[in-house]
Structure 1
Amino acid sequence: PVLIALLAAVFLDERFTAYLGLGLALAFGGVALISVSTSESAGHDVVGVFLCLLSAVVYSISLILQKPLVARLQAVHVTWLACTVGAVVCLPFAPGLLRELGEAPASSTWWLVYLGVFPTAIAFTTYAFALKHMSASNLGVTTYLVPPITIVMGWLALGETPPTMAYAGGALALVGVAVARRKPRVRADAAAPA
């Protein structure tokens, strides 16, 4: 979200307000608190950290590139185009997929179908629709809602109880999103016609 907001300010001429900056800092701090409090290992995988940062940069760039597309095309078309490009890139792996599908249990095949339909097709189409109707910065900051929601879902569905600091981090992330999405007040004397 921080990279999206910075890139949107530079390439999409979106305003980077004080509320957005403060909200991003608070939400990032909350997610960092969740991450640190739930980390089970003392060591850090440098390659893994680098790959996470690389994926964040690539995702941010892709979102900035999608914004002009969704202004002209329907969300389903943008999602279809992105999935088609992904499928074409994965074509070299098709023979292995077909071979392994024959050996895999039916449940694994259905999970693969589920991943293609719900978290990919439906979720990304919804995300593209939202991107069409709001700024990239405001949409990007809403992704900070994922860790607190995941904590609650893990608690309800799996009986997982994260450390107390994870709850504090979740609350901080929620506050950060609320602050970042706050609209600056328009002063009454500035709004009155001259």
Structure 2
Amino acid sequence: MFTRRTGALFLVSALLFGGTFVAAKAGLAHIPPLLFVAIRFDIGAVVLAAFAATHLSRAELRPRTVGDVVGIFATGVIVIGLTNALLFVGQQHVTSGVAAVIFSLNPILTPVFAALLLSEERLSVRGFAGMALGLVGVVLVANPDSAALLGGGLGVPLLFAAAVTSALGAVMIRRSEATLSSTARTIWGVPLAAVLSHGLSYAAGEPVVGLSMPPVALAALVYVGVFSGAIAYLTYFALIDEAGATRANLLFYFVPVVSAVGGWVLLGETISLLAVVGFVVIFAGFLLVSGLPPDVSGALKRGVRERLVGSGS
């Protein structure tokens, strides 16, 4: 997994998705959740359409196979549209700490679906240990109230459903073996997510007329539309193609870390010592699953050999 490209994709995706939770706190105070998601992807669709018009040809955008259609469906309807609808509605019923823990079951669920649908992505015992360690780290960072975790009403099942759809969709994308690039699939997928979200918002009876849009809500929409609604999904789906669904979804262990740091920097929230310990535990779990970078691993092996030779002489 550790190459410069995959490392950059992983870092950008984690940073931008992590910022979503900070922006959502500001935007959801003024805009209903499903409408918030819909407008987010309206903005993202416009940004991606402009990118496609200047960077991709019609041939690069044209679906050619059943796998292309399945990949676009999994991208737009399942991973982007349905997951975000469930996630944002579920967040209305629980604290951000509970939401972080429940949605961070995503990396645990991904190898389960991968074992059923993808023979090449089965985890080792060390990999499952790393997954479990990462989840422990998320719990330490989020530090949710146990009563809220167990008594979240509709919030907990909705967030769990979001984790399921996100994990299943990522594996479906990998299995589809689409000929379209991840960029083209994202350009098709974000408008699909916008249409789905508008439909769900209308069905839920969310108000559209008379909403107030103060500057903080507009800024939140710009962030989640452009940065975590267009750019982040371009990098995330490219990461799935590069590293596989199981390892790509490890980034969702780091989203609560980014969210916690963002809340500290931008909202004046505190970071406890327990959260710092959680950061370290998450990173340790990540290394167990993905392995050390080749240059680091090689340096450690050389160091051990030199020590052994030195002690032998």
Please say whether Structure 1 and Structure 2 have the same fold, judged by a TM-score greater than 0.5.
yes
Q: Which runs of 5+ in 1 are unaligned?
A: 186-194
- Native 8 Å contact 2:128 2:289 kept in 1: yes
Residues 70-110 of structure 1 show CA distances to partners (whole Å, capped at 9, x for unaligned) of 7521122211222122222234458x887457x63466345
**Structure-2 residue corresponding to 1:191:** none
**Structure-1 residue corresponding to 2:20:** none
Matches within 5 A, 1:102-181: 104-105=213-214, 108-181=217-290
In structure 2, how many angstroms separate the alpha carbons of the residues matched to 1:177 and 1:49?
25
**Structure-2 residue corresponding to 1:189:** none
Of the structure 1 ranges 78-87 and 49-58, higher mean CA displacement relative to structure 2 is found in 78-87
Assess, with a 3 A threshold, how the Cα gap between structure 1 residues 84 and 23 changes in structure 2: closer, same or farther: same
Of the structure 1 ranges 3-12 and 76-85, higher mean CA displacement relative to structure 2 is found in 76-85
In structure 2, how many angstroms separate the alpha carbons of the residues matched to 1:126 and 1:100?
36
- Native 8 Å contact 2:140 2:278 kept in 1: yes
Q: Does 1:6 align with 2:112?
A: yes
Aligned residue pair count: 182
Specify the SS of the correspondent of 2:154: helix
Instruction: Compare relative contact order (CA 8 Å, sep 6+) and give the higher one, 1 or 2.
Output: 1
In structure 2, how many angstroms separate the alpha carbons of the residues matched to 1:106 and 1:47?
31
In structure 2, how many angstroms separate the alpha carbons of the residues matched to 1:112 and 1:154?
17
Give 1:141 deviation, angstroms: 1.8
Matches within 5 A, 1:1-194: 1-13=107-119, 14-35=121-142, 37=143, 39=144, 42-43=147-148, 44-69=151-176, 71-92=178-199, 99-100=209-210, 104-105=213-214, 108-182=217-291
Specify the SS of the correspondent of 2:250: helix
Assess, with a 3 A threshold, how the Cα gap between structure 1 residues 91 and 159 changes in structure 2: closer, same or farther: closer
In structure 2, how many angstroms separate the alpha carbons of the residues matched to 1:157 and 1:177?
27
TM-score (norm 1): 0.79
Assess, with a 3 A threshold, how the Cα gap between structure 1 residues 168 and 24 changes in structure 2: closer, same or farther: same
In structure 2, how many angstroms separate the alpha carbons of the residues matched to 1:162 and 1:40?
16
Give 1:143 deviation, angstroms: 1.9
> Counterpart of 1:145 in structure 2: which amino acid?
F
In structure 2, how many angstroms separate the alpha carbons of the residues matched to 1:110 and 1:120?
13
- Native 8 Å contact 1:27 1:172 kept in 2: yes
Residues 151-170 of structure 1 show CA distances to partners (whole Å, capped at 9, x for unaligned) of 33333343422332122122
Specify the SS of the correspondent of 1:72: coil
Assess, with a 3 A threshold, how the Cα gap between structure 1 residues 58 and 149 changes in structure 2: closer, same or farther: same
% of aligned pairs identical?
29
Give 1:7 deviation, angstroms: 0.9
In structure 2, how many angstroms separate the alpha carbons of the residues matched to 1:156 and 1:24?
28
Give 1:129 deviation, angstroms: 0.8
In structure 2, how many angstroms separate the alpha carbons of the residues matched to 1:88 and 1:21?
37
Specify the SS of the correspondent of 2:269: coil
